[in-house]
Amino acid sequence: MRPDRLLDEYAARQYGTFSLDQAKKAGFSAKMVHSRVEGGAWIRLAPSVYALASAPPKWERDMAAALLTRAEAIAAGRSAAHLHGFDGFGPSKPVIMIGEGGNARSALATVIRSRRFSAVGRVRRRGFIVTDEAETVMTLARELNAVRLEALVDEILARKSCSVGELLAVVDAARGGPGVTKLRPIVHHRLSDAYQPPTTELERLLYRLLDHPLLPPYSRQVPMHYRQVEATVDAYIDTWRLIVEGDGRRRRRASLAHPARRLRQGPAPGQRGNGPWIRRPPVHLRDAAE
């Protein structure tokens, strides 16, 4: 098979990029490599890393090239978050992870060195080997503030792409590394089997308010079954017999039209008959927030 065709197979899997070693395996001599670069058919992106001139200069090409600069590297940090589809993480300068003894200097990427590199969980996303969801959160914990980190944890729990147990295992394995002090309490707070992650930003803020020590315990995402009413409410404070609904989504407004009047009708046959009846709580939620 001709060298060009063999090289095209490498480039097709790597968004148009390839390494010098791959070019040599395809049958290119040093003179041929020099000729292709001088002639404009290839673009030199970094020492020993090239791209076909026909390959679109997009983020994926830069990410693939960054990974080719190291013998062993995986996408990590913000790059992994983008590949996983985490909210708020778009294309940016590539981030790669290598072993602890590797060279952290790179013109193409931000390089993270990890003493756990061989044990780091990894998956394939869009053709790239990347840190898995739990490892990606652990890496991002180094740079995100606590509020943003908490929102990210709830996001991946809500979409069930990662479990609390997987997050805890990564936190324990990190053994005091960067970000652990921020991530550990967030994960431990979510260990309860009854924990329900918020599915919207408004719900997340509501639950932060309801977690205030001045307020009594509450339950999240509580199903309500009453005559002509069947819905799930954001929170229910049993001590006050208080329903708390934060986002008011259209589907809930439709099923909870005139909620006070409908709830006064009492429970449907077979349901418990002791509430929840809406009344004014002894502590105003605004006071707790302050």
Report pLDDT digits (tens) over 247-269: 654 444 434 444 444 444 444 44
Is residue 155 in some structural domain?
Answer: no
State how many domains the chain has: 2
Phi-psi region of 270 (alpha: psi -120 to 50; beta: other; left: phi over 0): left
* Averages of pLDDT over each 10 residues, the chain, 290 residues: 89 97 96 96 96 96 97 97 96 97 93 94 97 97 93 92 94 86 92 74 83 87 71 85 72 42 43 43 54
Structural contact between residues 37 and 50, judged by C-beta atoms closer than 8 angstroms: yes
Give pLDDT, residue 269.
Answer: 42
- Between the CA of residue 18 and those of 37, 127, 150, 269, what are the distances in Å? 13, 14, 39, 69
Which run of H or E residues covers position 232?
A: strand 229-237
Is 118 within the bounds of a domain? Answer: no
Separation in Å, CA 38 to CA 53, 55, 101, 182 = 12, 17, 35, 51
User: What pLDDT sits at residue 289?
Assistant: 52
Residue 273 resides in a domain? yes
What is the Cα–Cα distance from 159 to 88, expressed in whole angstroms?
A: 15
The residues, any chain, with a CB within 8 Å of residue 151's CB and separated by 6 or more, are 201, 204
Q: Are 50 and 21 in contact (CB under 8 A)?
A: no
Query: Would strands 95-99 and 110-114 be described as parallel, antiparallel, or unpaired?
Result: parallel
Strand order in the sheet with 122-125: 110-114, 95-99, 74-75, 128-131, 122-125
Residue-number span of the structural domain to which 21 is assigned: 3-57
For 192-228, what is each residue's pLDDT tens digit?
766 777 777 788 788 888 888 888 988 888 887 766 6
Last residue of a domain, one of 27, 57, 87: 57
Is residue 101 one of the residues assigned to a domain? no
- pTM for the predicted model, two decimal places: 0.73
Across-strand partners of 44?
50
DSSP 152-163: HHHHHHHTTSS-
